[in-house]
Amino acid sequence: MATTPPPSEARSTVRALLRLWPYVRPVRARLFTAALIAILASCIGLVIPLVLKWMVDGPIADRDPAGVWLGALYLLLLGLAEALLFGFRRWLVARPLSGVEAAMRADLYRHLQRLPVAFHDRWPSGQLLSRGTTDLMLLRMFLAFPLTFLLVNGVTIIVGVIIMLIQDWTLGLVILIPAVPVMVTCVVFEKRYSRAARLAQDQVGDLTTVVEESVLGIRIIKGFGRHRSQARTFRELSGKLRGTELHKARLLATILGVIVTLPELAIGAALVLGAVRVADGDLSAGTLVAFLSTALALRWPVDSIGFLLAMSQEAATATERYFEVMDAKEEGQEDDRGPGPTAGQAPPPAPRGDGGLRFHDVTFRYPDAPSGSPPVLDRIDLHIRPGESLALVGATGSGKTTLTALVPRLHEVTSGRITLDGTDITAMSREELRSRVAVAFEEPTLFSASVGENVLMGAGATAGRGELERALGVAQADFVHALPQGVDTQVGEQGLSLSGGQRQRLALARAVVGRPDFLVLDDPLSALDVHTEAAVEAALRRVLADTTALIVAHRPSTVLLADRVALLSGGRITAVGTHHELLRTSPEYAHLMSGDPAGEQEDIR
């Protein structure tokens, strides 16, 4: 299972969490206000022991019932004030932090749409999903609770220790004895827990990938009876995640054991020492009650250190995972871009007669290919004249789909250049380029939307019902009118409620609906029956008459749609001509068209 490896360099939790500041900055006023309110509420809680001291040494010692009732009223008011302030703090942070999470999720989604195809080829989808869901939920929880209470509890502990030292410095020093071992434990815990937290979050991404693939591939799993093997894979990954979570729980239990036990022992020692001094008359009973009440009031701030540090570590790893995606370079920012014009430099002028679509000495190698491996495409020179249709033919794995992906810049050329009507495609914005070039892939992808919305995705914002009907007619997709709600019928996830041929016809309609200047079709008729294919070809010929088109073809019927044919073999264009010319002059082409396996070439990729 592919995963994204954790960063190899040493990580600073604070440095990682500081990357959240641009998102937190707009709501910083409410967060700071909430923190101050929480500090005030905690300090009010520390006043309660002082009231108890006054009651014990005053009204209780003097047997004054009125004073006792007055003290009880003070305690009630302090308790209510503390509760109201904590409730107000939660109200202050709930709305803005939901906005922070929504903004981060929107930025992540927007960034994913702008990342190159090569990025999505490398990353498992489950890893991306977990970063956009689980990790962002952890960050919201961190901003809502640990971020505030690491500060609040730190201030509370300092103020409480000062109060205890003022009341009696001897007992205060006894309480401070566990401070050093607790801090050492926290430092050791941080390093170990951060590794376990990162591993667990990566394993959640792997598990998400398996679940997603199992749902999308349920027909394959059922068709081949592979449910047991898939369940076994899920159990194995789930077991690994369970083991990691148990390891995290053991680490957390260890630090909690240290953090809880040592202060409790110190409080017990202070109680014994204080009781002896009260008996000797060196200390008042009220002072001892107030001291112990203050120490007990500090139990939760101290005990929560382990829990808060654990959540902070998980938030730090979630931040790292989020920014691993956000730091990936978007299209147009890749370090391995082709030799297009640099910023501020105009592309070289195109020669005369260089209209249409032209490949100039184009070489392409995948960025993750082993060093020294041969390129997928090697010095491709090909010219599709304006209004001409060219069929691209080659054995499986010869690089046909890769070549078509270079035109809309789904991949960047390694060297050479591609021009549209004499303009280098790297000199155009991707928005302009993709408005002029429409694509239809062999494996059609439909979205959870209506038929009409799926088709009109290939047109501009002003496209209407007329363009939709024309495109459906070209693709021979009149079957949509027989669906329950016609073109408004929801096709479901991946369009799996439709047949393969129906999905392919809708993908073809999406490609032609915008009347593009250039059309790139990757074997667009492979899933059609003979009669439907003939009808689509007849309608497609009328579209191709006014369009410059590059068509990947495997069958003679598709090849005959084109004016000329180019044979791709071994990453090179080895022959160009009409279908009949290549049948006579190219044995390899004749083998491919006849289905003779002797014509098959070794896959390049």
The yes-or-no answer to whether 24-326 and 357-599 have a common fold is no
Decide: 214 and 221 in contact? Cβ < 8 Å. Answer: yes
Interval 203-207 mean pLDDT: 86
Listed range (76-80, 218-222, 452-456) with the worst mean pLDDT: 218-222
What's the average model confidence in pLDDT over 116-145?
A: 85
With cut-offs at 50, 70 and 90, classify the pLDDT of residue 346: very low
Most confident option among 44-48, 53-57, 128-132, 240-244: 240-244
Which residues does 603 contact at the CB level (< 8 Å), separation at least 6?
395, 396, 397, 398
Say whether domain 24-326 belongs to CATH 1.10.10.10.
no
Q: Where are the domains of the chain?
A: 24-326, 357-599
For 488-506, b/e burial (b = at least 16 CB within 10 A) is ebebeeebeebeebbbbbb
What's the pTM? 0.73
What average pLDDT does this structure show over 329-355? 52
Q: What is the structure's pLDDT at 107? A: 92
Token pair in block for residue 302: 């101290």
CATH of domain 357-599: 3.40.50.300
C-beta separation of 312 from 15 below 8 A: no
Are the CB atoms for 604 and 400 separated by under 8 Å? no
